[in-house]
Amino acid sequence: MSLFWRIFLLNAVVLGVATALLLWAPVTVSVPVLLTEAVILVGGLGVMLVANAALIRWGLAPLVRLTRRMATVDLLRPGQRLPESGTGEVADVIRTFNAMLERLEQERVASSARVLSAQESERRRVAQELHDEVGQSMTAVLLALKRAADTADPPLRDELRQIQEATRGSLDEVRRLLRRLRPGVLEDLGLVSALTALAGDFATHTGLTVRRDFAGDLPPLEPTTELVLYRVAQESLTNAARHADAETVTVRLRRDPDAVELTVTDDGRGIRRLCEGAGIRGMRERALLVGASLEVVPGPSGDGTTVRLTVPVPPAGPVPPGPEPFALPQPAPSAARTDAQDL
């Protein structure tokens, strides 16, 4: 029975009982009204109001839950559904809302895949241009400076040496940016080696202590999954350096019976009031691509912050072939080495 008819019938019952009492019961209303008559009328009105309030609250409770969920739903946290309680129009509204959430989550995953695919493509393009244009140009400058310094007089030679060292430092910075844009180690040596290189590079350039704890029995993962794990670790380390005011960061990668779990824990000031910025939401979007779950919680001792990414492991067997949502770039062909160590 629909909500309209439930409310209508209850009101009809209450009004019918009141009419019957006035018709057949020895109830009269005097002028002026007597105290007993006032008590009966006020009591009847109270019963009718309470009955109506109880029915309306019971009938509208699913809609209240629906309103709260609509105000708090986040497509980056999939699976938020309402129980299909109630009957009639209320149940139809809840079923429609759940179906709408399902469609929106699927569309969000598809749109995130397109955006991240474009982002990775742009990273590859920029990395390739850094390699082919900036890196080669700076290498040529280093060679020219070396030749000029070898033939210059001592005062000018010292200045050229200083310029050469400054240029070499800039070239090293370009290499670091290139590794961040395109994780070549991930393509060539796998996830553990890539995370090891990432942690070492991060410790070198930030001065923080980075501890590594990587399991050796990881299952074979698809390239997209490995890239998501790498990017989440990269963003977590960056957040720890920028915002946590930490001294030590621990990166762990271990295998559960049916999942691979990446945790990045720092000993910084922690999260008193989590405000998810673009970095954390970007990590959540990446997690959606591989059906993973992402948690940002306080550290084990209550201090610091832990970022935990849990990726489900597919059933044992070969990794299915086929195109990925975004494919990893192929390694660039190695060029002849120079004393400037070309990119």
Over 138-205, what HEC string results? HHHHHHHHHHHHHHCCHHHHHHHHHHHHHHHHHHHHHHHHHHHHCCHHHHHHCHHHHHHHHHHHHHHH
CA distance 169 to 232: 28
> Can you give the pTM of this predicted structure?
0.60
| Of 203 and 185, the one with more pLDDT | 203
Structure-block tokens of residue 208: 């923080």
Q: Give pLDDT, residue 329.
A: 37
Q: DSSP 3-state assignment of 235?
A: helix
pLDDT value of residue 17 = 76
Tokens 């397109």 found at: 114
Mean pLDDT score of the chain: 76
Q: Which residue bears the tokens 């948690």? A: 295
What is the structure's pLDDT at 64? Answer: 76
Please report, to the nearest 10 degrees, the dihedral formed by the alpha carbons of residues 302, 305, 310, 311 taken in order.
-170
Instruction: Please give the average per-residue pLDDT across 274-290, as a whole number.
Output: 77
What are 151-166's pLDDT values in tens digits?
Answer: 888 888 888 888 888 8
Question: pLDDT value at position 337?
Answer: 33
Burial bucket for residue 118 (CB in 10 Å: 0-12, 13-18, 19+): exposed
Distance CA 38, CA 49 (A): 16
**Residues 6 or more apart whose Cβ sits within 8 Å of residue 66:** 82, 93, 94, 97
232 in Cβ contact with 280 (< 8 Å): no
∠ at Cα 235 (117, 331), nearest 5°? 50
Choose the most confident range, by mean pLDDT, from 35-44, 55-64, 161-170, 266-275: 161-170
Strand partners, 250: 211, 265
Predicted confidence (pLDDT) at residue 25 exceeds the cutoff of 70: no
Closest CA to 125 of 182, 177, 198: 182
pLDDT in tens, 250-261: 999 998 878 899
Residue in 251, 198, 254, 195 with CA at minimum distance from that of residue 226: 195
341 confidence band (pLDDT: 50, 70, 90): very low
Residue 300: pLDDT above 50? Answer: yes
- pLDDT per residue as tens digits for the range 192-217: 888 888 888 888 888 888 899 888 77
Q: 149-187: b or e for each residue (b if 16 or more CB lie within 10 Å)?
A: beeeeeeeeeebeeebeebbeebeebbeebbebbbbbbb
pLDDT at 340: 36
Three-state DSSP at 46 gives: helix
In terms of Cα–Cα distance, which of 229, 286, 236 is closest to 262? Answer: 229
- According to the model, what pLDDT value does residue 75 have? 65
Quick check: helix, strand or coil at residue 73? coil
Q: Is the pLDDT of residue 310 over 80?
A: yes
In the chain, the amino acid numbered 156 is L
122: how many CB neighbours lie within 10 A of its CB? 11
pLDDT at residue 218 tops 60: yes
Rounded to the nearest 10 degrees, what angle do helices 136-151 and 154-181 cross at? 160
Whether the predicted pLDDT of 248 surpasses 70: yes
Q: Which of 26, 27, 8 shows the shortest CA–CA distance to 16? A: 8
Whether 328 shows a pLDDT value over 50: the answer reads no
> Which residues sit opposite 306 in a β-bridge?
265, 297
Q: By three-state DSSP, how is residue 211 classified?
A: strand
Q: What is the pLDDT of residue 135?
A: 76
pLDDT of residue 262: 92
What are the domain boundaries of the chain? 3-107, 185-316
Q: Which CATH architecture has domain 185-316?
A: 2-Layer Sandwich (3.30)
Sheet holding 259-266, edge to edge: 209-214, 248-256, 259-266, 305-312, 293-298
Bridge partners, 253 (sequence order): 214, 262
